[in-house]
Structure 1
Amino acid sequence: MPHPQPPDRPKGAAAIPPLDDFLCFALYAASHAMTRFYKPLLDPLGLTYPQYLAMVALWEKGERTVGELGEALGLESSTLTPLLKRLEAMGHVVRARDSRDERVVRVRLTDQGLALRERAATVPGCLFAASGLSLDELVGLRRQLVVLRRALEADETTAGA
C-alpha cells in the first residue's frame, strides 16, 4: 500500500517510506534495546555486552585463537584486541602466542573466567522472561535473523562497498 506523500516533499522527489517501516531501523532499535536490557544484568558481573558475548564464546568452546573468536563474534581484530586486553586485565582470560606459529594469539579462560560462568548462568533466562515470546517464537526469530545476516553477507552487490 503506498504511503501518503508528505506535504513538504518536492515534486518529483523519490518516495521514501516512514522510518518505522524500515526493517533496518527495527533491527537497529532492537539491538539498542537488547544492549540496554543486558546492562543491569551484566554490571554486577563487571562486563559490557561485547565482553559478555566474548566470554560466552569462550565458555562454549574453551580456548580459541583471536581469529576464531573474531569470526564467531563478527568482530575485526582491531575491535576485539582491546576488548580481550580488558578481559585479561580483569583476570578472566589469558592471551598467549601460539608456540608453533607466533602470528597466532590464543585466548583461554582463567579459573576466575570459568567461575564467572556460574554467576552469569541466569542471564539468558532473563531475556526469555522479558521477551513475552514463546520459546518456539524466539528460536524462530533467531533462525530468521541468522538467515537474513547470511544473505546480506553473501550479497555480492554490496561486497567491498
Structure 2
Amino acid sequence: MNDDAANNSSWLKLDLQVCFALYSAQLAMSKVYRKLLKELGLTYPQYLVMMVLWEQDRLSVSEIGERLFLDSATLTPLLKRLEGMDLVLRQRSRPDERHVEVTLTESGRALRQQAEKVPEAVLCASQCSPEELVQLRDELHGLRARLATTD
C-alpha cells in the first residue's frame, strides 16, 4: 500500500480496494476477449475449456473443473453447449460410468489454429511487455494460492 492508503482513516474507499482493482481489470480484459472470441464463436468460459482440452485431450469433467476452479454444475452446461457446437464429445467412462470423459472433435482441434492469434492480440491490447504480463500473472497465481489457504 502507498503512503496515502496507510494514512487514510477509512479503508472502505473504493480506490483502495484490491478486489475492485481486480474486478475492474477483469471487466476490461473481458471486453477485449469478447471481441476476439466472437470470431471463434466462443464465450470466455468456453474458450477456457477449449484451452484445457487443447493442452490435454480426453479429460474427465472433474479434471477440467479442477484446472478451471469450476464445479460440475457450472461446467456441465458449458460442455453441453460445446458439444452442440460439435467442438467436443462427452462420453461415459467405460471403467467407471459415473465419470464423463470429454474429447475434442475434429472441429474442436481445428479451432485451435484460429485461437492461436488470441494471446498475441491480448498482449497488444494490454500495452504491456511480455515480461510485465508474466510477472502480473505470477503475482495473481500467488495471490489466488494464498487466498485459497484462508478457507
Q: TM-score, normalised by structure 1?
A: 0.87
Aligned to 2:19: 24
Report whether the alignment pairs 1:152 with 2:143.
no
Alpha-carbon distance in 1 for matches of 2:13, 2:32: 26
Aligned to 1:62: 57
Quote how far apart the aligned CAs of 1:136 are.
1.1
Gap runs ≥5 in structure 2: 1-5
Quote how far apart the aligned CAs of 1:63 are.
1.3
Alpha-carbon distance in 2 for matches of 1:77, 1:117: 24
Quote how far apart the aligned CAs of 1:17 are.
3.3
Quote how far apart the aligned CAs of 1:110 are.
0.1
Alpha-carbon distance in 2 for matches of 1:62, 1:42: 21
Identity %: 50
Match of 1:126 among 106, 121, 126: 121
Aligned to 1:91: 86
Larger fraction in helix: 2
Gap runs ≥5 in structure 1: 5-14
Higher relative CO (Cα under 8 Å, sequence separation at least 6) belongs to 2
Measured on the aligned residues, the alpha-carbon RMSD in Å equals 1.0
Aligned 8 A contact 1:3 1:17 in 2: no
Alpha-carbon distance in 1 for matches of 2:28, 2:58: 31
Alpha-carbon distance in 2 for matches of 1:32, 1:58: 25
Structure number with larger C-alpha Rg: 1
Counterpart AA for 1:82:
P
Quote how far apart the aligned CAs of 1:16 are.
3.2
Alpha-carbon distance in 2 for matches of 1:39, 1:147: 26
Correspondence 1:9-88 to 2 at 5 A: 15-88=10-83
Report whether the alignment pairs 1:3 with 2:25.
no
Aligned 8 A contact 2:32 2:125 in 1: no
Aligned residue-pair number: 146
